[in-house]
Structure formats: C-alpha cells, structure tokens
C-alpha cells in the first residue's frame, strides 16, 4: 500500500494551488481510471487533489454554443436535453463507452485524460516509454492489435481510448483550463498530442493545470449524424476503430462534413481531407468510398493490426451511410 496525502478543495484556485509542483500530485474526479492505475502500481501519486467539490458540473447554453463543466458526468451529458437537441453525436459516442455504472461515475475531464489501454503500459514488468521514459516500447514488436495506424512514432504506437473525445474532435470543441498563471483556452484538436519522442505526455496541459470545461460552438442543426464503434464485444470494450460523422445535406448534396476517427492514433483523428472531398458532392456510396480512401492515406499498420487498414475505410463508409440514411 502506497501512502498518499488527500485534499478536497472547494474552489478552483485552491485546487490549482494544492497541486504541489515538485511532488507527484494528481487530481482525482470519478476515479474510474486513476484508481485502477494506482492499484496496479502504474502510477504512484504522493498527493491526490479530489476536485469533486468544485462547482464544475454545469451543462448550459452560452452566447456561442454549449458549455459543459469538467465534472459533468458522462451519463448526465449523454442524457442532457441541450446535448440531445444540438449535438446528438456526442450522446451517441458517450453511450458507446464503458458501462452505465462507469458512465455514472466518469467525468468529462477524466474521460479526456484517461490513459491508453496498451497492455504494456499497464504491465509494470514490461518496457513502456509512456510509463517509464527511455525503457522502450513493448508494443512495437509485441502484441499490437489495438494500436495506432496514424501518427505513431518509434517511441510509442498507443491509441487514445476515449469515445467521447472522437465526437468532441468532430464538433470543433475547445477546452478551458486553469493554471497558476490563469485561464487559457485550447482548441480540442490541439489538446491531445502525438507521441513523438515524448509519449509520456498525452496532451498539451501544463503540469498542475485543471480542466474547467469544454465549449462546443453552435453549428447548423442536423439529424445526419452517426457514431459507429467497432469492437471485440458489443459492450464493455474499447474501440478497434470508431468514426464520428456529422453531415449537413441539402437536396441530397453534402453542404458540410465533419469526421473524426478513434482507435487509430494517439489522439482523436480528424479527417479534414476526406471532409473536403465530400463537400458539394451527392451523398452516395461511391463518394463515401472515395472519401474513405482519402482518409486512409498515410496509414501504417504493425504486425497484428493490419486488419485496421481495411476496417478503417469500411467503418468510415458505414458511418457515412448511416449518417446520410443511404442504404
């Protein structure tokens, strides 16, 4: 049993100040990821800052969109009437994740910062540059079935496991964070990072920064949405590949398209070139197939995840068909 200190601040600035810079400190929200990692000895914090008493649970309309507090539960977001009305793809993605019990504990901030599910990261007897920088990557020549096909490096080929974040990437959300120097806003696309030479950093947060919430900008209402998650079991399993699709279709012609993939990279993977290829085109299976081929350019598989090179485009096509209501 590792000893740790435990504090429960009631306001944001004291939470940030509680984060002792040099000590091994962690915020804790729902604890559904952090506690597992602590039990397995993957992380051993000396101090936990419990943020559950902070007033960060709001889900509300703002002048430019919808704000979701970092402590809003995954289940509350998925059931919220504003989200269901304006951004139903986010509700679909949330409901595709974990289990009802976990979604009742898991928070939005914790979901964004959940760690990879790479088995070598969890196994403290194996090399892993993310867990222990410089120790090597067990997955590179090991069992890499769940791993990345985009944006990986020689240091790490892990994927980000979140479903929610794939939808938020497609919705052009932004993240507000608070540090000792004050607040700043990070576009969602820049929040998670690629591994490069420093896979120990999952994201662009500075040490001790607290996520306050996310903002999703207003967008034209559409029912042409889909979140398709392909996984080994129909529940309680992380994505092999997932796709969030948000289309605006007028008289059968695509006016705008927003697409992002999960299970394929160290961060939610936005498909800008594929989106561009669809704009102004009829919503047909042939055009969806063409977009899926564009999306897969630059993909690189490893020994055990070659199947993702086929599963990826197939999932994109199926998600687009579902979103467009095309048989």
Ligand X SMILES: Cc1cc2nc3c(=O)[nH]c(=O)nc-3n(C[C@H](O)[C@H](O)[C@H](O)COP(=O)(O)OP(=O)(O)OC[C@H]3O[C@@H](n4cnc5c(N)ncnc54)[C@H](O)[C@@H]3O)c2cc1C
Which residues here bind ligand X, judged by CB under 6 A?
Answer: 26-34, 36, 51, 70, 74, 97-98, 102, 105-107, 109-111, 113-114, 161-164, 210-211, 236, 238
CB of 139 to ligand SF4, least distance (A): 4
Identify which of residues 51 and 126 has a Cβ nearer to ligand SF4 in the complex: 126
CB of 113 to ligand X, least distance (A): 3
Query: Token digits for 138?
Result: 């067990």
Q: Which of 121, 188, 191, 227 binds ligand SF4 (CB under 6 A)?
A: 121
Query: Among ligand X, ligand SF4, none, what binds residue 6 when CB lies within 5 to 8 Å by partner kind?
Result: none
**Residue 220 in contact with residue 244, Cβ under 8 Å?**
no
Instruction: Write the CB contacts of 75 (distance below 8 Å, at least 6 apart in sequence).
Output: 94, 100, 103, 104
Alpha helices in the chain (DSSP H): 12-18, 34-39, 74-79, 81-86, 88-95, 100-103, 108-112, 119-122, 164-170, 188-191, 272-278, 285-295, 308-324
CB count in 10 Å sphere of residue 316: 26
Query: How do 210-217 and 225-230 pair as beta strands?
Result: unpaired
CB of 296 to ligand X, least distance (A): 23
**Is residue 92 at the binding interface for ligand SF4, with CB under 6 A as the rule?**
no
Identify which of residues 27 and 120 has a Cβ nearer to ligand SF4 in the complex: 120
**Is residue 120 at the binding interface for ligand SF4, with CB under 6 A as the rule?**
yes
Query: Among ligand X, ligand SF4, none, what binds residue 28 when CB lies within 5 to 8 Å by partner kind?
Result: ligand X
Distance between CA atoms of residues 261 and 266, nearest Å: 11
CB of 122 to ligand X, least distance (A): 12
Identify which of residues 238 and 288 has a Cβ nearer to ligand X in the complex: 238
Interface map 99-118 toward ligand SF4 (x if CB under 6 A): -----------------x-x
CB of 110 to ligand X, least distance (A): 2
Distance between CA atoms of residues 195 and 191, nearest Å: 13
CB of 279 to ligand X, least distance (A): 29
Stretch that binds ligand SF4, among 155-163, 201-209, 267-275, 316-324 (CB under 6 A): 155-163
Distance between CA atoms of residues 303 and 68, nearest Å: 40
Query: Among ligand X, ligand SF4, none, what binds residue 27 when CB lies within 5 to 8 Å by partner kind?
Result: ligand X
Residues in the chain: 327
What is the Cα 20 distance to its own chain's centre?
Answer: 27
CB of 33 to ligand X, least distance (A): 3
Query: Token digits for 130?
Result: 């993310």
String of b and e for 239-248 (b: at least 16 CB within 10 Å)?
bbbbbbbbbb
What is the Cα 172 distance to its own chain's centre?
Answer: 13
CB of 312 to ligand SF4, least distance (A): 18
DSSP H or E stretch at residue 216 = strand 210-217
Query: Among ligand SF4, ligand X, none, what binds residue 173 when CB lies within 5 to 8 Å by partner kind?
Result: none
Find, among 68, 65, 60, the residue nearest to 94 by Cα.
Answer: 68
Query: Token digits for 76?
Result: 């509350």
With H, G, I as helix, E, B as strand and everything else as coil, classify residue 29. Answer: coil
**Is residue 149 at the binding interface for ligand SF4, with CB under 6 A as the rule?**
no
Query: Among ligand SF4, ligand X, none, what binds residue 247 when CB lies within 5 to 8 Å by partner kind?
Result: none
Query: Among ligand X, ligand SF4, none, what binds residue 34 when CB lies within 5 to 8 Å by partner kind?
Result: ligand X
Q: What is the binding site for ligand SF4 (CB under 6 A)?
A: 116, 118, 120-121, 128-130, 137-139, 156-158, 199
């Amino acid at each position: 049993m590792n000893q740790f200190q435990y504090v429960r601040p009631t306001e944001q600035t004291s939470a940030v100040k509680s984060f002792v810079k040099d000590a091994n400190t962690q915020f804790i929200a729902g604890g559904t990821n952090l506690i597992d990692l602590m039990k397995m000895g993957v992380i051993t914090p000396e101090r936990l800052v419990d943020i559950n008493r902070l007033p960060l649970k709001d889900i509300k309309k703002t002048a430019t969109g919808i704000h979701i507090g970092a402590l809003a539960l995954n289940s509350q977001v998925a059931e919220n009437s504003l989200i269901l009305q304006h951004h139903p793809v986010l509700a679909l993605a949330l409901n595709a994740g974990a289990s009802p019990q976990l979604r009742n504990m898991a928070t939005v901030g914790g979901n964004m910062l959940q760690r990879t599910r790479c088995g070598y990261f969890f196994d403290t007897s194996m090399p892993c540059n993310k867990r222990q920088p410089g120790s090597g990557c067990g997955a590179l020549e090991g069992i890499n079935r769940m791993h990345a096909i985009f944006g990986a490096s020689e240091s790490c080929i892990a994927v980000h496991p979140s479903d929610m974040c794939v939808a938020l990437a497609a919705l052009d959300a932004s993240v507000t964070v608070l540090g000792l120097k004050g607040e700043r806003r990070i576009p969602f696309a820049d929040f998670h990072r690629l591994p490069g030479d420093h896979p120990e950093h999952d994201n662009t947060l500075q040490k001790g920064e607290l996520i306050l919430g996310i903002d999703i900008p207003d967008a034209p209402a559409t029912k042409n949405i889909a979140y398709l998650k392909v996984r080994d079991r129909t529940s309680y399993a992380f994505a092999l590949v997932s796709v969030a699709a948000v289309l605006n279709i007028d008289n059968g012609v695509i006016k705008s398209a927003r697409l992002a993939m999960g299970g394929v990279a160290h961060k939610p993977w936005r498909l800008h070139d594929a989106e561009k290829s669809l704009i102004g085109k009829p919503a047909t299976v042939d055009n969806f197939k063409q977009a899926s081929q564009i999306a897969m350019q630059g993909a690189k598989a490893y020994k055990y995840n070659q199947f993702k090179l086929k599963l990826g485009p197939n999932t994109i096509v199926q998600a687009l068909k579902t979103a467009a209501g095309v048989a």
